[in-house]
C-alpha cells in the first residue's frame, strides 16, 4: 500500500497573488493580460533552429504547447533539450524560427517584460554571494521593481507565500551556502514563483535529488497548476508527472503530444536505444528492461499528435 506522495497535501493550490497580471509598479494591467485575452495559442515554437559554430543543435522544431499543464521535454544526452528550453525562454536567439507566447514573439519582447512573464530554473543554479534564502527568493521580484533605486518595496507577503508553497519558510534566514542541493532547488522554485510568470521553465530540476525529493518536487510542480515546461531524464517520472511530452532526438522533434500517446516501447527503443515496457496501469509507467538495438527497431514515423485529451496524470502510487 502506498501513501500520498510527500508534500502534496501541504501544497497551497490557490493561485499565487496576481503579480503577473500587473506591471508591479503602478498596478495597471500588463501586456500579458491584454495578450491573454487575444485567444492566441499559449506557446508556439515554429521551425525553431539553433546552431553552434555552424553545427546544427536544434533543427526545424515546431510544436504548440498548452497552458496550465506540465509539458516534459525528454531525449538522449545532447539531443537539444536545454537549447530548446533556452530558446523558449528567450535566453538564446534562434538562428531561424520563432517562439510566440500568447502570440507575442518572445525574442522581440523587452527583456523586463520577458523576465516578468517567463521564469527559468537552471540545471545548476549557483549563487556565490553571501545571501540568505530569503534574499535569493527575493531576487524573483527584481523584474517587477524597476531600476535601482527600487521604487517598489519588497512584497513580503508574496515572499512568504512562495516559500510556504515550496516548504522553505522554516529555512528563510539560513545562509544560502549551507543549503543542500534539494533545498536550493526548492528555493530557486520559490524565486521563480515570486516572479509570477505565465511560463515556468525547469531544466532537469530533479537531477540532484533523492527519489523521495524527486517525487516531492514534481508533485509540487503539478499541484501549482502552472504552465510548465520541464526537462527530465527519467522517463518514468516524465510518464507520471507530465501531461504532454516533447521528444527530441539529435536536435529534431521525434514526437509531441499527450504522454500516453507519445510514450511507446518503439519510441523508447528508437530514440533512447533502450528496451522498455510501457503500460498504463494505475498510471502511465515506463520500466526499462535493457539495451535495445536501435537499428533493429522500426523507424519512427512522425508521432506529433494533436492534443485531444486534458486528463491529468495520476501522481500517487509506488515507485516501481
Give me the residues that bind ligand ATP (CB under 6 A), please: 52-53, 57, 75, 77-83
Return the number of the residue (53 or 290) whose C-beta is nearest ligand ATP.
53
Count other Cβ atoms within 10 Å, centred on residue 289. Answer: 11
| C-beta closer to ligand ATP: residue 67 or 78 | 78
Sheet holding 55-65, edge to edge: 55-65, 43-52, 96-101, 104-105
Nearest approach in angstroms of CB 238 to ligand ATP is 13
Percent helix, percent strand, percent coil in the chain, to nearest 5 = 35, 25, 40
Residue whose CB is less far from ligand ATP, 82 or 216 = 82
- Residue (141 or 248) nearer to ligand ATP, CB: 248
**What is the C-alpha radius of gyration for the chain, rounded to an integer number of angstroms?**
20
Phi, then psi, of 187 in degrees rounded to 5 = -65, -40
Residue in this structure with the C-alpha cell 522517463, named with its chain if needed? 235
SS3 23: coil
* Min CB(126)–ligand ATP separation in Å: 17
| Strand 252-258 relative to strand 244-249, pairing | antiparallel
Nearest to ligand ATP of 20, 256 (CB atom)? 256
The Cα–Cα gap between 101 and 114 comes to 10
CB of 84 to ligand ATP, least distance (A): 7
Closest contact distance (angstroms) between CB of 179 and ligand ATP is 23
Closest approach of ligand ATP to the CB of residue 52, in Å: 3
Which is closer to ligand ATP, CB of 77 or CB of 128?
Answer: 77
d(CA 319, CA 314): 13
Smallest distance, ligand ATP to C-beta of residue 198, A: 23
Amino acid at each position: 500500500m502506498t501513501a500520498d506522495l510527500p508534500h502534496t497535501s501541504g501544497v497551497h493550490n490557490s493561485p499565487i497573488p496576481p503579480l503577473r497580471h500587473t506591471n508591479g509598479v503602478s498596478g495597471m494591467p500588463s501586456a500579458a493580460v491584454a495578450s491573454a485575452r487575444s485567444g492566441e495559442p499559449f506557446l508556439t515554437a515554429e521551425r525553431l533552429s539553433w546552431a553552434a559554430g555552424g553545427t546544427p543543435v536544434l533543427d526545424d522544431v515546431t510544436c504548440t504547447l498548452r497552458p496550465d499543464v506540465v509539458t516534459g521535454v525528454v531525449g538522449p544526452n545532447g539531443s537539444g533539450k536545454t537549447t530548446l528550453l533556452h530558446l523558449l525562454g528567450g535566453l538564446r536567439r534562434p538562428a531561424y524560427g520563432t517562439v510566440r507566447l500568447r502570440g507575442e514573439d518572445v525574442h522581440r519582447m523587452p527583456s523586463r517584460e520577458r523576465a516578468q512573464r517567463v521564469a527559468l530554473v537552471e540545471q545548476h543554479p549557483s549563487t556565490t554571494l553571501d545571501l540568505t534564502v530569503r534574499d535569493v527568493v527575493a531576487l524573483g521580484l527584481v523584474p517587477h521593481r524597476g531600476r535601482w533605486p527600487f521604487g517598489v518595496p519588497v512584497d513580503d507577503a508574496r515572499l512568504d507565500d512562495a516559500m510556504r508553497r515550496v516548504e522553505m519558510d522554516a529555512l528563510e534566514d539560513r545562509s544560502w551556502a549551507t543549503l543542500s542541493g534539494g533545498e536550493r532547488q526548492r528555493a530557486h522554485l520559490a524565486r521563480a514563483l515570486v516572479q509570477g510568470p505565465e511560463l515556468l521553465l525547469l531544466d532537469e530540476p530533479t537531477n540532484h535529488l533523492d527519489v523521495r525529493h524527486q517525487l516531492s518536487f514534481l508533485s509540487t510542480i503539478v499541484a501549482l497548476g502552472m504552465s510548465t515546461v520541464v526537462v527530465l531524464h527519467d522517463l518514468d517520472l516524465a510518464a507520471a508527472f507530465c501531461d504532454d511530452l516533447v521528444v527530441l532526438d539529435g536536435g529534431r522533434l521525434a514526437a509531441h503530444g499527450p504522454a500516453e500517446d507519445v510514450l511507446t516501447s518503439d519510441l523508447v527503443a528508437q530514440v533512447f536505444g533502450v528496451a522498455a515496457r510501457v503500460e498504463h496501469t494505475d498510471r502511465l509507467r515506463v520500466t526499462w528492461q535493457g539495451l535495445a538495438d536501435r537499428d533493429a527497431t522500426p523507424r519512427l514515423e512522425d508521432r506529433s499528435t494533436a492534443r485531444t485529451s486534458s486528463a491529468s496524470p495520476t501522481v500517487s502510487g509506488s515507485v516501481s
